[in-house]
Structure 1
Amino acid sequence: MSAFQDAKKQILLELKSAVGKEFTPTVADLTTPPDPSMGEVAFPCFALSKALKRSPFELASEIAAKVEPKGFVAKAVSAGPFVNFTLDPEALGKAVLADIAKEKDGYGRAEAAKSRVMVEFANPNTHKEVHVGHLRNFFVGQAVANLLSAAGFEVIPVSYINDLGTHVAKTLWRMKRSGEMPGKEDRIAFMGRMYAEAVREEEADPRVKEEISAIHRDLEELKGPYVSLWKKSRGWSLKELKAIFKELSLTIDKTYYESELIGETKRIVEELKANGIAKESQGAVIVDLEDAGLGVNLLVKSDGALLYNAKDLALAYRKDEDYRADRSLYVVDGRQSLALKQLFSTLKRAGFQKELGHVSYEFITLKEGAMSSRKGNIIRYETFRDSMLGMAASETNTRHPEWKERKVAASARAVAFAAIRFGVLKQDLDKKITFDMEEALSFDGFTGPYLLYSYARTKSILRKAGRAKKSPDASALSSPVERRILVKIASYPDVVHEAATGIRPSAIAQFLFDLCKAFAEFYETCPVLASEGATREARLALTAAVSQVLSNGLALLGIDTVEEM
């Protein structure tokens, strides 16, 4: 239990003592005052007022009068229907600095193994280019996995690769028809071009659609003249995806492939039909979900082609068989909301018992609108990355003309990837993103580079200071900004828990930004290296604590730190 949680526990005991047997408060009953000057913890008396049939104003005044200063509690005052608690900075400071110094990278993490949660993300298609639009899925999925792990869950991150969809048949059809092979051209870009050309030809000639459908059916059976080309081109894609996943530090325990689920999908569809859950309709196979307001779940088209909704059923059973997770989360953009509701409803009707959830997010847009592989107006991940790296290197060279090329490249890489990742994760999941590269790379404001710079500043101070005292006097941290920082870093474990529970990576981003702003004020108004005695030791300890919390929080977002910028 963290220092802040200990303080809240004491407050709950004080409330219980003041009210008596009629009321047993919980942490959920506590809130945060809107203004730091009002205290660090607030207790609204509305629910208690309703239960006791008394005025919340009178109850707040009565409770505050009964609370005596001791331990973590410095004072309690009533403010209308609220009781506001001010924590003792010395008691809190001593406890939180000791906690962080002891737990280090583990600070903010809960005890392990509450239950097992599977997080499915990073589900790109083979035979297509990875583009900027995929990044939100990658980063959100990894951050959700990291957050849940920090909150004490056993997390199984998995990926599902669509290596056998109609897009594959279109790409292979165009390759055969054109007689072209990549040669010196980038293989993935080549296949992207083939796909876009196939889409245009299909729209112009209905006969092409029939040819592609036949190829798709053959591929599902792994037969016919296109299988060899499928295997070769699939290998190109998987090699590319593996390299990108590694570069972006995506931790995937297991990857599932659509091509491995065809037989199982057909078996499940037949079982659903036999059990009266699915039925044939005009040559297709459907699950009628009209009674649930979800329309019709189309599993098999009239031409016999299996649809994603059917294959997702097989995937759900395969994942459950492999890992027996208590809960399974699907990180998928909001445009697939209906499809997932149909999937979950169909699974439930089939007797699937495990908890399923959709982590929905909005997409990244360009100035011209949403990206589309069909139209060919995408920005490839590599192109975007290289642009960000180039801009970051230019800025680094300007700041440090004396640095050698290797050092510039390493720093630019850290800055660019922090800018990209933070620029995506700082946004609430229900907000669309129009990514601005220059804004994301800024060293000022709500950006990844600003956070890296703040962290590097803490490390610079600590390097110059040398060895610090192990048991600093927290009472020396007496300024308002020092106290705010103590409360801020003390609240970090609660912030992690709430971000994990609410699936809100953006809450971590906002916390880190607020902490960096407070540290900037501290740096300007509270000299560290120039101070002396107990004040110097306490400020060094506070700087070290801020440094550790920044490192831990950035790690949750998948952002690597640097010690010099």
Structure 2
Amino acid sequence: MFKREAERAAELINTALEALGYGRRALEMRPIPFPGVWGTSTTVCYQIANEQLAEELEAATVGLSKKEAKRLVQERVRERAQAIAEELATWLSARGDFARVEAVNGYLNIVYDTARFANEVLRAVLAAGPDYGRGAPRGERVMVEYSQPNTHKAFHVGHLRNVCLGNALSRILRFAGFDVLEANYIGDIGLHVIKCLWCYLRFHRGEEPPREQRGRWLGEIYAEADRRLSYRQDVVELLNELAQADPVFVQAIDRMLKELWREHKVGEDIAYLLGQIAHGREIKPDAFYDEQTIVKFWPIVGRQLEHELAEARAAAEQDREDKTIQRVRQLEEWYERWRRLAATLDWWPHVPQWEREVRETFQRWERKDPEFVQLWEETRAWSMEEFYRIYDELDVHFDVWFFESEVEEEGRQIVRELLERGIAEISDGLPVVKIDEKLGLEKETYRTLPILRSDGTTLYSTKDLALTKRKFEQYHVDRAIWVVDVRQTLYLQQIFKVMELWGFQQASKCYHLAYETVMLPSGAMSSRLGNVVLYEDVARQVLERALEIIEEKNPSLPPDTKAAVARQVGLGSLKYGMLSRDNNRVIVFDIEEALSFEGHAAPYIQYAHARACRILEKVDALPEGPYALEDLTREEIDLIEQIALFPDEVQRAADEYKPLVIANFVYELAKRFNEFYRVCPVLQAPEPQRSARLAMVAAVRQTLANGLALLGIAAPEVM
């Protein structure tokens, strides 16, 4: 509302400028930077003074030094600007539209009538209700593509950040006045699917878990496939790391390999291992003559790590220096990796055969083998059922569903068209777009984008080009937004630029909302290491803890109400935890912190809303305005000021594609309301102050509810 009031002030200033013969101007209005004062300021008087004095000052500064000329210009311009500001102030003051109009050092300051403006804010909120802050139609259609989970893989807590960002941004854009389409692009085919189905057919054929666990089970099958196929790489990665970072291990390698010879009579591979480890050269998984060498060597590696760890722990008991403790922690991490790999040591000889089988499985998909396609459709449905359940729990709903499997052939046709039009070319057997060259850029910026494999199989880019074309042509979007993690930044810029070269004007309004990863206090997640934290596990823990907190805070609530509020608080804390940090920063998600009633967390904000509801339920009806708002306390001024900011913050969040703006807004509003509640009695206040404060409480309740709704977070009435 401050923006609207500043626009009103600018229009009146232009009326004055016209009346005084200065002519209308494009005015830049800035808030007056004084606490507790509502108003706006402009430098237009300096602009006019500079224009009027330009020729006069040019002549007057001839022969003066730079310093003297600068001082003369500043003095003359300031004097003229002040005179103009006083003239405008006199004209505007006579009309009585503002509390006061001041000419200060050449600036024109307009101070709003506090009572009038405060009444206008409260009236606007209470009249608009759920629509307070809603923007006028923008006349643009926006598609926000987000979530994009892969079938046959687990839906983990990292996916939650994407969903929360995309859904909140969609809600904000729609509220700001855009026509919004929410889209999901399901990765239902690709190497991850092939790996999962290969592992199912090879090791789990005929197995089927309970219906409610099938999506999770598929994720576990994929993780197993990934561990099996990357087993050799994981083993040599650990050996290479030990060779580079553990001098004790390197010093012991000669003894260890002699032990290997004595026990197993291994031949040529001993020389290879000795040369690589002793000289810090990379061990390669396919460089061994005997498939059993690593199988036989691995227990010896484990005994060496056990010995080193025992010595390090003994040293740490005597010496508590950071370096010694760090050595123990590093050895524990290495030993844990060794132990995990030792548990499946029999996998080593089979990996090459498994890799061949995966390639054969991929060919079954390429030739659309009926039996394989049927299995894919059935298992894909298992994953989709889990996704639908999660989206329903999060109150997330999509207007458009895209599937990767549906755009493969479309993508191949696009590659042919790009080649025919000279946008793409064949380079080293691959169809590519040399983006920098096509744009005439000398500095490497967008590089070269391959758009199809040499064997004709599709890449991500093949399908993303087809998908983007479909968005523009079939759905007639004016701008498109992708919510995708930060590692895909260059790739998406390449897609946008190829679409621009192709002639799509909308490409200039494509935007990548990048975000960083989610970690837990225990560290980063990895499906290969088996420490991926699934969304449903985190959600269950949060909801259980939320119920415990609600029972502690309000034990008298009926059981059904407790459960409903705990659900609102739990899901709210999950979402706010993903939205209250800048999307370019890594999130370390801590359940206790997310559920805090005191800090920067959803329950703190939700409790402010419940507190407002509790106050208002004690009055039969809200008093009607206008209200007596002449002598406001500092807390009241701060509160009304924050409420008034909401419409402008909605537009800013939409223009900047930044849900964090609203997350910060609702927190600040809750904070100011709590300060108001602490200092300003409401129900016990005398009239007319009581009525005015009740209106403020009602306006807070409504604005908090509206702001939380934009984040997809419920506003409980009791807590």
State TM-score, norm by structure 1: 0.92
How far does residue 45 in structure 1 lie from its aligned partner after superposition?
6.3
Cα deviations by residue, 1:506-541 (Å, 9 ceiling, x for unpaired): 111111111112111211222111123221111111
1:122 maps onto 2:147 in alignment: yes
Q: Which amino acid aligns with 1:272?
A: L
Question: SS of 1:301's equivalent?
Answer: coil
Aligned to 1:313: 465
1:145 maps onto 2:174 in alignment: no
Inter-CA distance 18–476: structure 2 relative to 1 (3 Å threshold): closer
Aligned pair partner of 1:212 in 345, 358, 362: 358
Aligned pair partner of 2:426 in 258, 269, 280: 280
Q: Tell me how far apart the structure 1 counterparts of residues 615 and 661 of structure 2 sit (CA, whole Å).
A: 27
Q: Does the aligned pair in 2 maintain the 1:23–1:48 contact within 8 Å?
A: no
Greater shift, 297-306 or 333-342, is seen at 297-306
Q: Tell me how far apart the structure 1 counterparts of residues 106 and 519 of structure 2 sit (CA, whole Å).
A: 45
1:336 maps onto 2:482 in alignment: no
Question: Residues 489-528 of structure 1 correspond to what in structure 2 (within 5 A)?
Answer: 489-528=643-682
Aligned to 2:208: 182
Aligned to 2:42: 43
Question: SS of 1:226's equivalent?
Answer: helix
Aligned to 2:228: 201
Q: Does the aligned pair in 1 maintain the 2:642–2:669 contact within 8 Å?
A: yes
Aligned to 2:254: none
Q: Does the aligned pair in 1 maintain the 2:579–2:663 contact within 8 Å?
A: yes
Aligned to 1:350: 502
Aligned to 1:170: 195
Aligned pair partner of 2:576 in 398, 418, 422: 422
How far does residue 220 in structure 1 lie from its aligned partner after superposition?
4.5
Aligned to 1:241: 387
Q: Does the aligned pair in 2 maintain the 1:118–1:325 contact within 8 Å?
A: yes
Q: Which amino acid aligns with 2:7?
A: K
Question: Residues 328-477 of structure 1 correspond to what in structure 2 (within 5 A)?
Answer: 328-354=480-506, 355-475=509-629
Cα deviations by residue, 1:262-313 (Å, 9 ceiling, x for unpaired): 2211111111122222233334322222435222212222343211111001
Structure 1 portions without partners, runs of 5+: none
Cα deviations by residue, 1:319-347 (Å, 9 ceiling, x for unpaired): 22321011111111111101101111111
How far does residue 113 in structure 1 lie from its aligned partner after superposition?
4.6
How far does residue 95 in structure 1 lie from its aligned partner after superposition?
1.5
Aligned to 1:16: 14
Q: Tell me how far apart the structure 1 counterparts of residues 526 and 50 of structure 2 sit (CA, whole Å).
A: 56
Q: Tell me how far apart the structure 1 counterparts of residues 26 and 113 of structure 2 sit (CA, whole Å).
A: 22
Q: Which amino acid aligns with 1:12?
A: A
Q: Does the aligned pair in 2 maintain the 1:170–1:195 contact within 8 Å?
A: yes
1:157 maps onto 2:156 in alignment: no
State TM-score, norm by structure 2: 0.73
Inter-CA distance 80–223: structure 2 relative to 1 (3 Å threshold): farther
Inter-CA distance 418–179: structure 2 relative to 1 (3 Å threshold): closer
1:231 maps onto 2:385 in alignment: no
Inter-CA distance 484–320: structure 2 relative to 1 (3 Å threshold): same
Structure 2 portions without partners, runs of 5+: 55-72, 233-350
Aligned to 1:97: 122
Aligned pair partner of 2:446 in 288, 294, 300: 294
Q: Tell me how far apart the structure 1 counterparts of residues 153 and 116 of structure 2 sit (CA, whole Å).
A: 57
Q: Tell me how far apart the structure 2 counterparts of residues 550 and 34 of structure 1 sit (CA, whole Å).
A: 26
How far does residue 375 in structure 1 lie from its aligned partner after superposition?
3.9
Q: Which amino acid aligns with 2:446?
A: L
Q: Does the aligned pair in 1 maintain the 2:188–2:403 contact within 8 Å?
A: yes
How far does residue 100 in structure 1 lie from its aligned partner after superposition?
1.4
Greater shift, 306-315 or 366-375, is seen at 366-375
Give the percent of matched residue pairs that are identical in Structure 1 and Structure 2.
Answer: 36
Q: Tell me how far apart the structure 2 counterparts of residues 174 and 81 of structure 1 sit (CA, whole Å).
A: 77
Q: Tell me how far apart the structure 2 counterparts of residues 270 and 117 of structure 1 sit (CA, whole Å).
A: 29
Aligned pair partner of 2:478 in 326, 340, 356: 326
Aligned to 2:301: none
Aligned to 2:253: none
Cα deviations by residue, 1:61-88 (Å, 9 ceiling, x for unpaired): 5565433456663234466676544321
How far does residue 210 in structure 1 lie from its aligned partner after superposition?
4.0
Inter-CA distance 9–351: structure 2 relative to 1 (3 Å threshold): closer
Inter-CA distance 164–500: structure 2 relative to 1 (3 Å threshold): same
Q: Does the aligned pair in 2 maintain the 1:297–1:342 contact within 8 Å?
A: yes
Question: SS of 1:73's equivalent?
Answer: coil
Q: Does the aligned pair in 2 maintain the 1:15–1:25 contact within 8 Å?
A: no
Q: Tell me how far apart the structure 2 counterparts of residues 492 and 290 of structure 1 sit (CA, whole Å).
A: 43
Aligned to 1:487: 641
Q: Tell me how far apart the structure 1 counterparts of residues 204 and 671 of structure 2 sit (CA, whole Å).
A: 59
Inter-CA distance 107–219: structure 2 relative to 1 (3 Å threshold): same
Question: SS of 1:300's equivalent?
Answer: coil
How far does residue 23 in structure 1 lie from its aligned partner after superposition?
5.8
Inter-CA distance 399–202: structure 2 relative to 1 (3 Å threshold): same
Inter-CA distance 89–31: structure 2 relative to 1 (3 Å threshold): same
Q: Tell me how far apart the structure 2 counterparts of residues 507 and 415 of structure 1 sit (CA, whole Å).
A: 21
Question: SS of 1:508's equivalent?
Answer: helix
Aligned to 2:29: 30
Q: Tell me how far apart the structure 2 counterparts of residues 71 and 498 of structure 1 sit (CA, whole Å).
A: 31
Inter-CA distance 86–514: structure 2 relative to 1 (3 Å threshold): farther
Q: Which has the higher helix share?
A: 2
Cα deviations by residue, 1:139-163 (Å, 9 ceiling, x for unpaired): 1111111111111111111111010
Aligned to 2:131: 106
Cα deviations by residue, 1:213-262 (Å, 9 ceiling, x for unpaired): 34234324532542222111101001011111111111210111111112
Aligned to 2:709: 555
How many equivalent residue pairs? 561
Q: Tell me how far apart the structure 1 counterparts of residues 695 and 586 of structure 2 sit (CA, whole Å).
A: 40
Inter-CA distance 6–317: structure 2 relative to 1 (3 Å threshold): closer
Inter-CA distance 310–485: structure 2 relative to 1 (3 Å threshold): same
Q: Tell me how far apart the structure 1 counterparts of residues 199 and 107 of structure 2 sit (CA, whole Å).
A: 69
Aligned to 1:270: 416
Greater shift, 40-49 or 115-124, is seen at 40-49
Q: Tell me how far apart the structure 1 counterparts of residues 3 and 130 of structure 2 sit (CA, whole Å).
A: 19
Q: Tell me how far apart the structure 2 counterparts of residues 101 and 345 of structure 1 sit (CA, whole Å).
A: 47
Q: Does the aligned pair in 1 maintain the 2:31–2:41 contact within 8 Å?
A: yes
Inter-CA distance 196–532: structure 2 relative to 1 (3 Å threshold): same
Inter-CA distance 239–272: structure 2 relative to 1 (3 Å threshold): same
